[in-house]
Chain A
Amino acid sequence: MALWFVFALMTAAAIFAVLWPLGRARSDAGGTEAAVYKDQLAEVGRDAAAGLIGSPEAEAARVEISRRLLAADDTERNIPVRTSPIFRRAVAVIALIGLPLMAVAFYLPLGSPRMPDFPLAERTRAPSASEPLDNLVAQVQAHLEKNPTDGRGWSVLAPVLAKLGRFDDAVTAFRNAITYNGDNAARRADLGEAMSAAAKGVITAEAKTEFERAVALDADEVKARYFLGVAAEQDGRAAEAASIWRAMLAKAPPDAPWRPLVQAALVRVGGPSLPALSDDTMASVQGMSADDRSAMVKGMVDRLATRLKQDGNDVEGWLRLVRAYMVLGDRDKAKSALTDARQAVGSDAGKLQQLNEGLKSFGLGG
């Protein structure tokens, strides 16, 4: 309500500004050209007296200026002053009706009159429980802006950022956590994971280095080892990936929660490793819900597809992708992957042949 009152006051002031001169009976007449020329004459006189200009020049200047003065006097005297009441009334009507109408017509679509101000001072008093996660994160970030060396703060913030999908920020946060809260294998592994998440699942060279550092710090770091396997897989070295994962499974306690994941990965890189799985583990993979399992597999297939889009030279990879789509029952995708593969390796006759050989067993045709 107060806002509308202020608006009304302001509008009234604006209208008054238009009406005020209209209502004045006598207004000032303004300056004249003649005044300027009279001053110029005086100036010539001063300059001549001071010896700045010679007397013939001063005389010539006087004549010139006097001529201008006469002309100006002439024209200025010939301007009659009139009043036109009709127009004055029209302007008053415009000011009284047109001005507020226009202001409101412009303001309403643009402004948000119902929204109160929200300055910082008010905000800090607001109860924090109801705040969304984003705001809490922002508060922590603000705190860290002031105390960038608070390693614990970074350690708390980083995983939250990763969960929110802000991977680039998470990478920075994990880095700072390592710098200020001490280096350890788990943090290195988390950093690497955030990096690869930022790269849409591709294990970049940077991320790989982080995993390698983590393993160097602690040879049993599960996450790092798993991702090193993924890196090997993405680079097309399926056998190496399989051996990394097999070694993990061999060492793992039977109730390790990550067993199913690794086993599924192992299945992905190649059938021959299947016999190595104990009955227990088979059971635990089967123990996963069907949805979980297919979601997991799908995620991996997508990652493979992304990688191949960027580096299409890997014939084995293409074959694996096509096979995966076939297994998942997505024939259309398998066919389009096949087309992509042909385009990607098209320039290399040897690889093309290798691709075609591999495809024979799929029964896709064409």
Chain B
Amino acid sequence: MTRRQRRLTLIGGSLAVLAIAAALVLNALRDSIVFFSTPTMAAEKHVPVGKRFRLGGMVEQGSLVRGDNLAISFKVSDGGATLPVTYKGILPDLFREGQGVVAEGALDAAGVFKADTVLAKHDENYMPKEVADALKKQGRWQEGSGGKPVATQGASNAPASVTQ
């Protein structure tokens, strides 16, 4: 083979691999990325049943109910809308009522968000970044109020729960 032919083989091979990789990436990007929504955004967009997304917001005070066999339900609110969430398993150490949470899963037919993962990611104010951004955008965040959005306080007369 001449130098030119060899170079062409090399370039052809590289292009083939790159094309395969590009196809894989595009395919994977279509199927396996997960969007982030707050309850309000989820309601506005009418997320179809069974479509996976990440739900972020605040765990509503007094909404956490522990059922049998590690079944757990709670409500996630962003001040505007509220979405009931069910989860089976062990919650992360840092999960608290009145604090931020991100859960991954999908809506079922009854409009309940069935989470298969509850994430413990947050900064020192127990506020996941996405949630903080979303709440700021909706004007429900007060800078400097200790990282607690105004939305979750108010007239909830639910039985108190120990948050320590």
Residues of A near any B CB (own CB < 8 A): 168, 172, 175, 199, 202, 204-206, 208-210, 235, 310-311
| Given the contacts A205-B158, A310-B154, A311-B154, A168 and B61 also touching, CB distance less than 8 Å | no
* In contact, B150 and A310 (Cβ under 8 angstroms): yes
Q: How distant is the Cα of A70 from the Cα of B62 in the complex, in angstroms?
A: 83
A-B contact count (CB 8 A): 29
Q: How distant is the Cα of A175 from the Cα of B163 in the complex, in angstroms?
A: 11
6 cross-chain CB contacts under 8 A = A199-B153, A205-B61, A206-B161, A209-B159, A235-B157, A311-B154
Q: Is B2 an interface residue (CB 8 A)?
A: no
Note all chain A residues with C-beta closer than 8 A to B155: 235, 310-311
Note all chain B residues with C-beta closer than 8 A to A235: 155, 157
Interface contacts beyond A172-B164, A310-B154: sample of 9 additional A-B pairs, CB < 8 Å, sorted by A: A168-B146, A199-B153, A202-B153, A205-B156, A205-B160, A206-B163, A209-B160, A235-B155, A311-B154
Closest 10 CB pairs of A and B: A209-B160, A206-B160, A311-B155, A310-B154, A205-B160, A311-B154, A205-B157, A205-B156, A310-B153, A205-B158
Q: How distant is the Cα of A235 from the Cα of B154 in the complex, in angstroms?
A: 10
- Tell me which of B146, B153, B159, B164 contacts A204 (CB under 8 A): B153
Q: How distant is the Cα of A258 from the Cα of B59 in the complex, in angstroms?
A: 39
* In contact, A205 and B62 (Cβ under 8 angstroms): yes
Residue of chain B at shortest CB distance from A171? B164
Residue of chain A at shortest CB distance from B161? A206
Note all chain B residues with C-beta closer than 8 A to A310: 150, 153-155
Note all chain B residues with C-beta closer than 8 A to A206: 160-161, 163
Residue of chain A at shortest CB distance from B146? A168
* In contact, B146 and A208 (Cβ under 8 angstroms): no
Note all chain A residues with C-beta closer than 8 A to B158: 205
Note all chain A residues with C-beta closer than 8 A to B164: 172, 175
Q: How distant is the Cα of A270 from the Cα of B61 in the complex, in angstroms?
A: 32
Q: Is the interface of A mostly helix, strand, loop or mixed?
A: helix
Note all chain B residues with C-beta closer than 8 A to A172: 164
Note all chain A residues with C-beta closer than 8 A to B146: 168
Note all chain A residues with C-beta closer than 8 A to B157: 205, 235
Note all chain B residues with C-beta closer than 8 A to A209: 159-160
Note all chain A residues with C-beta closer than 8 A to B159: 205, 209
Nearest-Cβ distance from residue A300 to partner chain B, whole angstroms: 19
Nearest-Cβ distance from residue A314 to partner chain B, whole angstroms: 9
Note all chain A residues with C-beta closer than 8 A to B163: 206
Note all chain B residues with C-beta closer than 8 A to A210: 160
Nearest-Cβ distance from residue A243 to partner chain B, whole angstroms: 19
Nearest-Cβ distance from residue B75 to partner chain A, whole angstroms: 15
- Tell me which of A199, A202, A208 contacts B160 (CB under 8 A): A208
Nearest-Cβ distance from residue B156 to partner chain A, whole angstroms: 6
Segment 138-164 of B: residues with Cβ below 8 Å from A: 146, 150, 153-161, 163-164
Note all chain B residues with C-beta closer than 8 A to A204: 153, 160
Nearest-Cβ distance from residue B112 to partner chain A, whole angstroms: 25
Q: How distant is the Cα of A208 from the Cα of B61 in the complex, in angstroms?
A: 14
Note all chain A residues with C-beta closer than 8 A to B150: 310
Note all chain B residues with C-beta closer than 8 A to A199: 153
Question: What per-residue 1/0 map shows which CB atoms of B56-81 lie under 8 Å from chain A?
Answer: 00000110000000000000000000
Note all chain A residues with C-beta closer than 8 A to B160: 204-206, 208-210
Q: How distant is the Cα of A168 from the Cα of B161 in the complex, in angstroms?
A: 16
